[in-house]
Structure 1
């Protein structure tokens, strides 16, 4: 058993288990988690006995995304540079590192399965969709709500998994969908009743674990190459730049000011209510969200 601050790692029976473990924050992503995901994947990669990686989350959810309550309510952070100017390359450098850390799950030669219960939203969906296979509980939810303001999914996997129109359906609304819908649309492999989730993931992992690791690597490399040929890397570069821009537009700064003054939860309530977010920013509303 290897010790990390934000996750647990264990290898047994030809499987490596990576479990996000900040349950008091719904496994929200802090500054340490992306690098620890990379380190855990590298442990699995270097272990000749491991054939498949299983990623899950402790507590009530898989992952509620970046710890935006902290990042939005803080007066300044590397993700929200204060002052009249913004350094896009500083922002890109940090967020690209996080994206590449998540994407070690995709680039690893060993296949990965993500098990989703509760929520896999915002940055949590970026992590989940970096895995090769995703199995959800039927009542779990997945979505990228910051598409409404203050975010762009940096791994860009929505379009590669869903196709153009359904990716637009999700990212032009910021809506969440349940596991049944996600499976029907092809976003995830399948959805099962919550009480069957653990057993179904184990069945799938055991089936994969019976294949030699070199065969698994070659099949995965071949399939991944198809996505690379479709421009995956360049799309991620654009998405990562856009993510920084969304946080530093006038509208993004309006949302940030709202969160600092009224609290993140009230800012989110306004964002999700359908009420307009002022184009070009503007004064904060007098009424409560």
Structure 2
């Protein structure tokens, strides 16, 4: 199996491939280097006749806290996306649909923080299982933009999506399951066993049929406009980058650093780093 720097790949049970995001010291921030390895591993599993389903999870305390904002996301993207305005949100959406369009099912196993780009990655998977106490959300709506991959209305409906978009608040794992973001939540110590049990059941169906089962659901969502709607959302994200609020936040990041900017952003909400500081 290929050696990777930012992910770990194993086959925990027969016919199941597992990809672990492996930057625990950075809360599994999704750099382009990590994303390149992730997409390569997903495509490798899709081509492997011995594999029927793939799990994505995170090492350390969380699934992923989002994209690596300390890096230049324009450089070394894992696949080509046309340049120009909105390159990044279009690139993110194309990556989400790359997972969507794989033949074999992909399962997200979520614990701890699953924020911003982490929530977009999880939402792109076919099945999502979460720890009861996970924290899932898109806090960037408070300071930068709506999501690159605007999945909320499609998986949770208008009212839940609107509340999350207008507050930037995070859902717990149990709330995410109740709202429709996730299939089911588990106590943290039961999450891995629960996901492997589900993966084993999915793997019982031969892949030549399973890929049609997967596409049958996707085609119905596409008939309702999901693919077009999410692609259109990239233009909203690009437009938000031109607002005075976003420009001021970027200036704050450049002047005071990312940690200080995020702490300032969340201070009046009492969550994020603010909540962690108050708990200490």
So what's the TM-score if we normalise by structure 2? 0.87
RMSD: 2.0
Which residue in 2 is equivalent to 1:2?
Answer: 2
The 2-side partners of 1:185 and 1:256 are apart by 32
Which residue in 2 is equivalent to 1:139?
Answer: 133
User: Is 2:101 aligned against 1:107?
Assistant: yes
1:251-266 pair list within 5 angstroms: 251-266=245-260
Kept after mapping to 1: 8 A contact 2:31/2:73? no
Which residue in 1 is equivalent to 2:278?
Answer: none
1:190-214 Cα shifts (integer Å, max 9, x gaps) = 1110000110001000111111112
Kept after mapping to 1: 8 A contact 2:92/2:149? no
Q: For the structure 1 residues 197 and 225, does the alpha-carbon distance in structure 2 shift closer, same or farther, using more than 3 Å as the test? A: same
Which residue in 1 is equivalent to 2:30?
Answer: 29
**Matched residue of 2:167: which SS?**
coil
The 1-side partners of 2:179 and 2:92 are apart by 27
Structure 1 residue 17, shift from structure 2 partner? 0.9
Which residue in 1 is equivalent to 2:57?
Answer: 56
The 1-side partners of 2:246 and 2:160 are apart by 25
**Matched residue of 2:227: which SS?**
helix
Structure 1 residue 222, shift from structure 2 partner? 0.5
**Matched residue of 1:242: which SS?**
helix
What is the aligned length? 262
Structure 1 residue 215, shift from structure 2 partner? 1.7
Gaps of 5+ in 1: 80-87, 276-289
Selected match of 2:201 from 198, 207, 220: 207
The 1-side partners of 2:10 and 2:109 are apart by 16
**Matched residue of 1:248: which SS?**
coil
Gaps of 5+ in 2: 76-81, 270-280
**Matched residue of 1:3: which SS?**
coil
